[in-house]
Amino acid sequence: MKVAVLGECMIELSQQVGDQFKIGFGGDTLNTAIYLCRCHGKADYFTALGNDPYSQSMLNAWQEEGIGIEHVKIKNNALPGLYIINNDEDGERHFQYWRQNSPARTLLSDYPSVLDEIKSYEMIFLSGITLSLYPQDDLIAFFNCLSQYRKQGGIVVFDNNYRPRNWMGVDTAVQVFSKMMTLTDVALISFDDEKSLYGEHSVEQCINRWVDAGVEEVVVKNGHHGCHLYKDKQHEFYPLKSVLKPVDTTAAGDSFNGAYLAAKLQSKDIKDCISAGQQCASTVIMYKGAIIERNIALTDGGS
- The residues annotated with a catalytic role in the active site are 254
Q: Residue 229's Cα: distance from chain center in Å?
A: 18
Say how many CA atoms lie within 13 Å of 230 toward its Cβ.
22
236 φ, ψ (degrees, to nearest 5): -125, 145
Say how many CA atoms lie within 13 Å of 172 toward its Cβ.
13
Cβ–Cβ < 8 Å for 251, 284: yes
Please choose, from the candidates 252, 276, 275, 258, the residue with its C-alpha nearest in 3D space to the C-alpha of residue 3. Answer: 258
By residue count, the chain amounts to 303
Q: How far is CA 53 from CA 49, 80, 183, 196, 248, in A?
A: 11, 10, 37, 37, 28
Please choose, from the candidates 73, 165, 179, the residue with its C-alpha nearest in 3D space to the C-alpha of residue 117. Answer: 73
Please choose, from the candidates 15, 10, 52, 2, the residue with its C-alpha nearest in 3D space to the C-alpha of residue 29. Answer: 10
Angle, CA of 14, 34 and 165, to the nearest 5°: 50
Cβ–Cβ < 8 Å for 49, 80: yes
Q: What gap in Å lies between CA 222 and CA 153, rounded to an integer?
A: 30
Q: How far is CA 139 from CA 41, 80, 176, 178, 289, in A?
A: 28, 21, 9, 13, 30
3-state SS track over 262-299:
HHHHCCCCHHHHHHHHHHHHHHHCCCCCCCCCCCCCCE
